Amino acid sequence: MREATAGARGGAAAGETASEARFDVEAVREDFPILHRAVHDRRLIYLDSAATSQKPLAVIEAMDRYYRMHNANVHRGAHRLSEEATTLYERARAHVARFIGAAEPAEVVFTRGTTEAINLVANAWGGANLRAGDAILVTEMEHHANLVPWQMLAERVGAEIRAIPIDDDGRLELGALDRLLDRRVKLLAFTQVSNVLGTHNPVAELVAAARAVGALTLLDAAQSVPHMPVDAAALGVDFLVFSAHKMCGPTGIGALWGRRALLEAMPPWQGGGEMIGRVTIQRSTWAGLPQKFEAGTPAIAEAVGLAAAIDYLHGIGMPAIQAHERRLTRYAIERLSELPGLRIHGPLEDRGGALAFSMEGIHPHDLSTILDRQGVAIRAGHHCAMPLHERLGLPASARASFYLYNTESEVDALSRALLQSREIFGLA
């Protein structure tokens, strides 16, 4: 992986580490055209990056350039444009590999996103390796994307789903591992950072515990890869999945990283063009990695956009982005804690920038509607984590989530809008 060198937007001066570097958020904001638009005649304050991030000009222009100059199908045509498109597509794969610390680009499979990557593992690995009586261990805080595919698999093969509970602060109860993790568990699938509570889960401990019983690990990195340095090899997990659209890239693409030996041993999932070696009417042989798992025409322009997003994030430096979000989240917790009737869910420290909360007396959906009128975009609902909300005893929650382009003044505006919502509801 390349060093997170200081870029134009977050340069480290002599003696400063990149993560302590001055971070010029106003310069970053200039890179995102959408942040200049108004909503309901107010300046847009976008606090929904955990759902999807906004896109910098560099990404928009890279995709535009691709369609204007290079568009062709990949790996097929013996003509110039096809060669260029293939080069760009494979270059994107190499970018992803470097960015997440993969040993080689062939271990990176492009998918439609996190959800499809997990479905791929559930079907290809799970279908081949899971038997009746086996178990898959998840956590109570998982996104539905890291739960439902395992349920479907478990149903099919007669396996069991177990879940590590969380405590009242929204951290995993690791003490429960003694009871939950035995030799029947074949896979531990968990999120690195909660999309609701912002909880950072202890990856090393969980990986060590899984290994001790011979279970594999799948890390849902949808909420970590966009926000912090992530090195798959150093983390020791077996599979890692994420989506481009949460990290300044386009929708419609994401990746599965897996260890070569595991991917090689897995049968393909979807069949079609690109993923074959030789085809006869009766049967086929498979292509090597990673094409074996990429049936059909892939999302080529989106891969180009993802590569541009990686260049963009790398130019700023992931440690600098993480440090900025930490500061901002700490500030938001301080400000929101001052508000009457407001309860923050999840840990108050050592956490990511997804901040779920409830306002006493106001339903989260009403809250988000009132805030929207002020130009403040937050999310309300179960955030695709119904079991987590059930555990918290909440039908829904409101969630503000931060990214590299958010500012303290936006947090102030959120806080003011929340106070106003109390006035509108006649709450003291």
Distances (CA, A) of 215 to 135, 137, 219: 10, 9, 13
Query: Are 124 and 266 spatial neighbours (Cβ–Cβ below 8 Å)?
Result: yes
Query: Near ligand PMP by CB under 6 A, which window of 78-86, 140-148, 230-238, 280-288?
Result: 140-148
Q: How far is the CB of 276 from ligand PMP (least distance, A)?
A: 26
Taking contact as CB under 6 A, which single stretch among the options 38-46, 215-223, 298-306, 341-349 is the one that binds ligand PMP? 215-223
Q: Which of 1, 72, 295, 384 is catalytic?
A: 384
- 3-class SS of residue 149: helix
Indicate the SS3 state at residue 353. Answer: coil
113 contacts ligand PMP (rule: CB under 6 A): yes
393, with CB counted inside 10 A (0-12, 13-18, 19+), is exposed
- Site size for ligand PMP (CB under 6 A): 14
Task: Write the DSSP string, 61-97.
Answer: HHHHHIIIII---SSS-SSHHHHHHHHHHHHHHHHHH
**Residue from 19, 146, 401, 421 in contact with ligand PMP (CB under 6 A):** 146
Query: Among residues 114, 374, 397, 415, which is the contact residue for ligand PMP, using CB under 6 A?
Result: 114
- Choose, by CB under 6 A, the member of 4, 100, 136, 145 that binds ligand PMP: 145
Under a CB-based contact definition with an 8 Å cutoff, are residues 4 and 320 in contact? yes
Rounded to an integer, what distance in angstroms lies between the CA atom of residue 426 and that of residue 428? 6
Least distance CB 193 / ligand PMP (angstroms):
7
Six token digits for residue 180: 């939950």
Pick between residue 256 and residue 342 the one whose CB is nearest to ligand PMP.
256
**Binding residues for ligand PMP restricted to 180-209, rule: CB under 6 A:** 191, 195
Residue 115 contacts ligand PMP per CB under 6 A: yes
| Residue 223 binding ligand PMP, by CB under 6 A | yes
Contact range with ligand PMP by CB under 6 A, out of 113-121, 199-207, 295-303, 308-316: 113-121
Closer residue to ligand PMP in complex, CB, 146/374: 146
> Strand, coil or helix: what is 357?
strand
The dihedral region occupied by 317, where left means phi > 0, alpha psi between -120 and 50, and beta the remainder, is: left
* Distance of closest approach, residue 235 Cβ to ligand PMP, in angstroms: 16
What residue type is 232 in one-letter code?
A
Q: How many C-alpha atoms does 172 have within 13 Å on its Cβ side? A: 25
Q: Does 220 bind ligand PMP (CB under 6 A)?
A: yes
Which of 358, 401 has the CB closer to ligand PMP? Answer: 401
DSSP state of 307: H
Site string for ligand PMP, 246-265 (x = CB under 6 A): --------x-----------
Look up 248 and say whether it is catalytic: no
Any alpha helices (H) in 194-238, and if so which ranges?
A: 203-212, 232-235
- State the residues that interact with ligand PMP by CB under 6 A: 113-115, 143, 145-146, 191, 195, 220, 222-223, 243, 254, 384
Please give the positions annotated as active site.
384
